[in-house]
Structure 1
């Protein structure tokens, strides 16, 4: 976040000043991201593993990229029980909120026999991207997975970058498991988005990414 000191002069062009904030300058990253996406689309797992090695300094393979049930079980032992209770309580509140957003199918007919209506169906598979690193927010996991779960999505695939030890943050795993993620993969960055968008040998192509 950039702070802008308010003075008589700065208030005149405050909007222009705010719009100059560096986060809005994405142009210099576009080529690099486009290259990553193109390679993942063309080379699949080969590119995915190479970029994970380059950016996250972690070696993943088709046998280790997916989080195992044993890793999730271990995560529960590493997370403070009080945090697990908070995650479960938050889950109830978030689910209750999104249940009120559900749209229902409906059908009716006119006097001349014409049938009108709409059929509401959930997507088959969605991808959830969860940031890693120092900023770990279990709440973001819940708020992205629960709406899909409530909507009735059959398959929820989550990707999140691993730490240098090759493991995913335990609280992230607990939150994902409680929320109902079906598959969790240890990969982040633009390469993870590319994998979800195009599909690789290890990660399925999804219908939508959040």
Structure 2
């Protein structure tokens, strides 16, 4: 574990350092992001597979994109049961938290015929990016998928 002592000088520079990461500094990445977005728009899955190989070092094809039941069973066999229990507990906590955020549609009619309200409708489908590479973050999956499931999203990719 690395321990860092916060000095008086560092305390004074916290705001300055945070501002260095402001969205105003993201412009230098715009061309690269546009290139990726255009490639995915034009070449769809083929571009996604290429970028997965480039950024995550994983080869994916149309035949291997879906995880099989056998692969899931094999993964469960390779993971310590204690970790599985921790992940399941986290899942329950995350679901419980997001269930408290659920909003419902409501409507109210006034005597003059005016109808007020809001209609809450979940998205039909959402895409979730799960970082890969050298580190594994099951929490990223849970914290991105559970809110969508609680909201009633039908298809999560």
Whether TM exceeds 0.5 here: the answer is yes
In the alignment, structure 1 segments of 5+ residues that lack a partner are 158-210
| Map of 1:64 onto structure 2 | 64
Counterpart mapping for 1:1-210 below 5 A: 6-7=8-9, 11=12, 15-20=15-20, 25-157=25-157
Equivalent position SS for 1:129: coil
Q: TM-score, with normalisation over the residues of structure 1?
A: 0.61
Residues 71/14 of structure 1: CA separation in 2 closer, same or farther (3 Å cut): closer
Distance 2:69 2:97 in 1: 29
How many angstroms does 1:84 deviate by? 0.8
How many angstroms does 1:125 deviate by? 0.3
Q: Deviations over 1:125-149 (max 9, x none)?
A: 0111111122322122111111111
Give the total of aligned pairs.
153
How many angstroms does 1:123 deviate by? 0.7
How many angstroms does 1:93 deviate by? 1.4
Residues 101/51 of structure 1: CA separation in 2 closer, same or farther (3 Å cut): closer
Residues 134/113 of structure 1: CA separation in 2 closer, same or farther (3 Å cut): same
Larger strand proportion of the pair = 1
Distance 1:148 1:55 in 2: 26
Larger helix proportion of the pair = 2
Equivalent position SS for 1:128: coil
How many angstroms does 1:105 deviate by? 1.3
The Cα RMSD (Å) is 3.0
Q: TM-score, with normalisation over the residues of structure 2?
A: 0.78
Which fold has the larger relative contact order, with Cα–Cα distance below 8 Å and residues 6 or more apart in sequence? 1
Distance 1:113 1:125 in 2: 35
| Map of 1:193 onto structure 2 | none
Residues 35/76 of structure 1: CA separation in 2 closer, same or farther (3 Å cut): same
